[in-house]
Each structure stands twice: as C-alpha cells, then as structure tokens.
Amino acid sequence: MTTTRYLIFIVLVTSAILLAGCKLSASTPPPVTESPDSAMSTLEAELGNIATQTAVAGGIVETVPTEQPPAEETSTGSTDTTPPTSPENTEPPPQPSPTPAPVFTATPGIPQSYQLQKGEFPFCIARRFNVNQTELLNLNGLGTGSLVPVGFTLKIPQTGNTFFGKRALLNHPTNYTVVAGDTIYTVACKYGDVDPDAIVQANNLQAPYNLSAGQVLHIP
C-alpha cells in the first residue's frame, strides 16, 4: 500500500471514529496489536463494526425482531374423565303384591256331569242348572222315587229344555238362619235355583264350609 493510500485510509478511519465515538459501547475491548499484518486485519474488522454501528445509529439498517415461538394454545375443554355418578335411588323397592284369594263363583253354564253332595237330590240339580227334570231322570235311569246315594255322578242333559215348574222354592235375596244339620248344599236346595258356590262367595266362607246353628247367611 502506497503512502498516499495509507494516509487516505487513516483519514477515513479517523473520521469514522469521530462520527461514531458517542455510540460506541464502553464495554467493547480495544484491539490487541500483535503484528503489522494482524493489526491491519483487526483494524479492517473494527472499521466494519464501526460502520455497522454507525448505520444502525443513523437509522439506515432496519433491525429484524427476534421471532418469538407461538404461544401454546390453552385448551378450554374439560379434561375430567371421571364418569358421572348416578344419583342414589332413595325410593324403597316395590313390595310384592299379595296373592289374591280364590274367588268362588256360581258354576258357569251347564256341566256335563255333577257329583251329588250330602243333602242334595236329583231335583235340586235339575232346578239349579235349569234342565228338564224328566230328561235328567231318564238319562240316569232313575225314577221319581229312586234313592240316590251321596257321591253319585249325575249326567246332565244338554238338550236345552228347561225345568218344568217353579225353580225358586224360597224367595231371595234374603238372609237365612242356619239350623242343626244344615250344609251349604242343603241351604242351596231349599232355595232351588241358588248355587252353593254363590253362597260361599256372598258370605266369604272358607273350606270346608262348616256351618253352625244360629249362623246367619246371606242368600244372593
């Protein structure tokens, strides 16, 4: 490098130092001179730093802001995975319905056969089921004076011919006072067209339906 160039270089360096002296950081360490060649390299590096600082101080170079990492999104949803608890059932368990007692009703329709009970006779059965008494006797090989034992099974006519004469021997509904030896079957026969099962139901009687003298029964 010639003397003229060196002088010009010195002037430029001096001017740059004077312009940027107020902006230099006090913490910047001075260059260390080791040799003429290294001193020249260090001087060129310092000139580059001075030029950059001067440009920044003068607003020539636009600084680029450091890019900040995007903020993590905050989940607003509920993360509670605990299963909902079902409300306690405070209602008492239903109580089992009581078994209804059997209901006794009159014999439906006209049965094919009927077994005689104590105190019953063929004419009682003919009145009760409203069948023709002559057909009943003939169907079973009986006469008007035949003695039929308890437990005898009568065949019941199915012709549809009704009882000849008055079915009801006593008027009812009414009350009846039991006498010694009465059963629900003899009481039913006294009224003619009343079914023993209907008497049981009307008076809430329990098997074996034993009656006591003086007991009052409602006859439906």
pLDDT in tens, 49-67: 554 554 444 444 444 444 5
Q: Is 75 among the domain residues?
A: no
Question: CATH code at 166?
Answer: 3.10.350.10
- Beta carbons within 8 Å of 90's beta carbon, 6+ residues apart: none
- Please state the pTM of the whole predicted model: 0.51
Please give the pLDDT value at position 219: 97
Give the pLDDT band of residue 8 (cuts 50, 70, 90): confident
* 125, 143 Cβ separation under 8 angstroms: no
pLDDT in tens, 144-194: 888 999 999 999 999 999 999 999 999 999 999 999 999 999 999 999 999
Q: What pLDDT is attached to residue 41? A: 58
The answer to whether residue 167 sits within a structural domain is: yes
List C-alpha distances in Å: 103 to 49, 71, 202, 203, 205: 118, 83, 10, 12, 11
In a domain, 107, yes or no: no
Domain count for the chain, please give it.
2
Q: pLDDT at residue 92 above 80?
A: no
Examine residue 97 and state whether it is found in any structural domain, yes or no. no
Shared domain check, 194 and 123:
yes
Residue 177 sits in which domain range?
Answer: 113-219
Extract the runs of DSSP E, i.e. beta strands, from 45-141.
Answer: 113-115
Domain co-membership, 134 together with 215: yes
